[in-house]
Structure 1
Amino acid sequence: MNGEHICIEITNVSKIFKKTTLLDNISLQIEEGKTYGFVGYNGSGKSLLFKAICGLTKIQEGQIIVNNEQIGKDTDFINNAGVIVETPNFIPSLSGIENLRLLAEIQHTISDKEINEALVKVGLESHKDKKVKHYSLGMKQRLRITQAIMENPKILILDEPFNGLDKDGIEIIHRLLLKEKSLGKTILLTSHHENDIDTLCDVVFEMNNGKIEANTKGASK
């Protein structure tokens, strides 16, 4: 790996449910400061792999180490990461910023200043006081991205972050993720759109039937 720092190491990981192998002996090394794309059809294992990395689903074989902590042993859940893999339970009767304040109370590491800065980055600042029940699908997606970035995590794990976004929204989030990468963040993402992958990713893994079938892009741009 040319001396690069490995921040996520996945070794011989398998997940089996009711005798069906959902993740099949996956081994990967994720280098700090790069963006990794995972592509494949629905059900290929992309989302499940992301959940395993985050500690949101248990694996039967292998190990996942994130920043020298083994998931499920040293820590139950990934630390210092912004995650979109399951839809957060935003409270519809509260505004966008009120929902973010509630989420921020879990870690107690940021204030309204950081929340507002994140809202500006995703282009949602003018709608922050609107109740979430009045948000469009795209606005809810921007709110999900806001909660992922607002605590300035070192790692972003984003499952289909562009779902529901219009053309302008996609461009805003492309710029945001390129900026996050320039700041040394490590990003893992999935997308069904080739342009997202081509624009953002240094390395692309193709998944099929719970396996990594190919690395479809070079180790660096």
Structure 2
Amino acid sequence: MITIEHITKKFKKLHALDDVSAAFRKGQVVSLVGPNGSGKTTLIKSILGIVQPDAGQIYFNSKPIQSEVAYRDKIGYMPQIGRYPDNMTIGQVISMIKNIRNHGTRKLDEELIEQYGMHALMEKNMRSLSGGTRQKVSAVLAFLFDPEVLILDEPTAGLDPLASEILKEKIMREKEKGKLILITSHILADLDELTTDVMYLQDGKLRLYQSIGKLKELTGEERLGRAIASVMKSGYVQPTEQSGAIVKSMEVRYA
């Protein structure tokens, strides 16, 4: 579904991404993990077309994203920090995004609106909201259009335990539908039940991309957090030839 070929991006002297190649397919829940500044957010923004790589190419359903901007309609994005007009209410923001993206034909997924009790908050101004409530708005908008792909950047950050659990259960249901889901999180315990594959970035380089089962076998650890800590301590780098069908010569593009 999404193929990344030799992506490189520099910000002045900082190498945010350094020759990163990978492919993501339907049914995967890929946890993008790594230290701060490892390139996770730059990779996400490159997929979304927000950041333009210096070199390399990204394909969505075999088409270069630069020539097929409509691919963004198939993605639901939840940023780490949602930024919305302060003078608008929650209801106005949701209505505005519906008008921009829905085109009057798309079936809406309003499950999180119900589960988060958002109907009672629709008249609240965005400027008055807590960080957790803003995060709920971002979650609602990410899932609202029933997208084929979900990209969730620190989705549980700022959420209380109940709201976080509601969101994780929602992600599980979307996983069961066979959607492609990319998640970043520093709270690795949140990812244990969700993850099918792990991509570990460090200093802009792809250090490891494995199924969760293979990662646990490689490290001898059952919990994702411990497995990643083991990789970080060991300085392990996955040889390209061991990446199998996911990171090979990229002759096959997943659809």
1:46 deviates by 0.3
Render the CA deviation track for 1:179-210: whole Å, top value 9, x for unaligned: 11112221001000111121211111111001
1:41-120 matches, cutoff 5 A = 41-75=35-69, 78-85=72-79, 87-109=81-103, 114=108, 116-120=110-114
- Residue 194 of structure 2 is aligned to residue 200 of structure 1: yes
Specify the alignment match of 1:159 in structure 2: 153
Specify which of 4, 9, 26 is matched with residue 15 of structure 1: 9
Q: Which has the larger radius of gyration?
A: 2
Change in CA separation of 1:60 and 1:138 when aligned onto 2, cut-off 3 Å = same
Gaps of 5+ in 2: 217-255
Change in CA separation of 1:122 and 1:181 when aligned onto 2, cut-off 3 Å: farther
CA RMSD across the alignment: 2.4
SS in 2 for 1:72: helix
Is the 2:109–2:143 contact (alpha carbons within 8 Å) kept by the matching residues of 1?
no
Question: 1:127 corresponds to which residue?
Answer: 121
1:30 and 1:219 map into 2 onto residues whose CA distance is: 17
Residue deviations 1:92-124, cap 9 Å, x none?
23221211111111123358x937444124453
What's 2:213 paired with? 218
**Under a length normalisation based on structure 1, what TM-score does the superposition of the two structures give?**
0.87
Moved more, 95-104 or 169-178: 95-104
Per the alignment, in what secondary structure is the counterpart of residue 32 of structure 1? Answer: coil
1:86 Cα deviation from its structure 2 partner: 6.5
8 Å Cα contact 1:37-1:201 kept in structure 2: yes
**SS of equivalent residue, structure 1 residue 92:** coil
> In the alignment, is the contact (CA less than 8 A) between 2:17 and 2:39 conserved in 1?
yes
- Residue identity in the other structure for 1:56: I
Asked if residue 179 in structure 1 is aligned to residue 173 in structure 2, the reply is yes
TM-score using structure 2 length? 0.76
Partner residue of 1:34? 28
Q: 1:63, 1:132 → 2: CA distance?
A: 37
- What SS does the aligned partner of 1:130 have? coil
Residue 36 of structure 1 contacts residue 203 of structure 1 at CA under 8 Å; is this kept in 2?
yes
How many angstroms apart in 2 are the aligned matches of 1:116 and 1:126?
14
More helix by share: 2
Aligned letter for 2:62? N
More moved, 29-38 vs 128-137? 128-137
**Letter of the structure 1 residue corresponding to residue 158 of structure 2:** G
Distance 1:86 1:166 in 2: 15
Q: Which amino acid aligns with 1:101?
A: S
Deviation of the 1:78 alpha carbon:
3.0
More moved, 188-197 vs 72-81: 72-81
Aligned AA (1:44) = S
Unaligned runs of 5+ in 1: 1-6
Aligned to 1:4: none
Please give the secondary structure, in 2, of the residue aligned with 1:151: coil
In the alignment, residue 32 of structure 1 is paired with which amino acid?
K
Conservation of the 8 A alpha-carbon contact between 1:81 and 1:156: yes
> In the alignment, residue 166 of structure 1 is paired with which amino acid?
D
Three-state SS of the structure 2 residue aligned to 1:114 is coil
Give the CA deviation at 1:11.
1.0
